[in-house]
Structure 1
Amino acid sequence: MFNNIGVSGLIIILAIALIVFGPAKLPLLGRAFGDTLREFKNSTRGVIEDGREELPPGKEEPRA
């Protein structure tokens, strides 16, 4: 998805975010984004662990 975004693309995105949100809100947005990613990661980990608990003993998930 982000394979085509280089350093110049990231600089442009950060500059636009700085103009739109301002320097005071940017750290708050970054922290909120990080918290959201952390919560999503923990939730998906919980779903995966619940799925593994439901497997009968001796059965393993196929490796992808």
Structure 2
Amino acid sequence: MGRLGLTEILVIVGIVILLFGGKKIPELMKGLGSGIKEFKNAAKDDQPAAKKQDEETK
């Protein structure tokens, strides 16, 4: 139940194309990619601070 099949993915892609049009999709994907990259960088930068804080409380 938790997995998406090929049919479901194709339906989602079709709906996205209908809603945003073919020209806007690359812009949306670029924005999504940069947002994910920023999130990963922020999470990576936060991990050492969390470890340091745990060590200080011991």
User: Shorter-chain-normalised TM-score: which range?
Assistant: 0.7 to 0.9
TM-score, structure 2 length as denominator? Answer: 0.81
- Residue 19 (structure 2) pairs with residue 20 (structure 1): yes
TM-score, structure 1 length as denominator? Answer: 0.74
| Structure 2 unmatched runs, 5+ | none
Tell me the C-alpha RMSD between the 2 structures.
1.7
Q: Structure 1 CA distance, aligned partners of 2:29 and 2:16?
A: 11
Moved over 6 A (4+): none
Count, aligned residues: 56
Deviates more, 1:21-30 or 1:41-50: 41-50
- 1:36 is aligned with what amino acid? G
Greater share of helix residues, 1 or 2? 2
| Structure 1 unmatched runs, 5+ | 60-64
Q: Percent identity?
A: 25
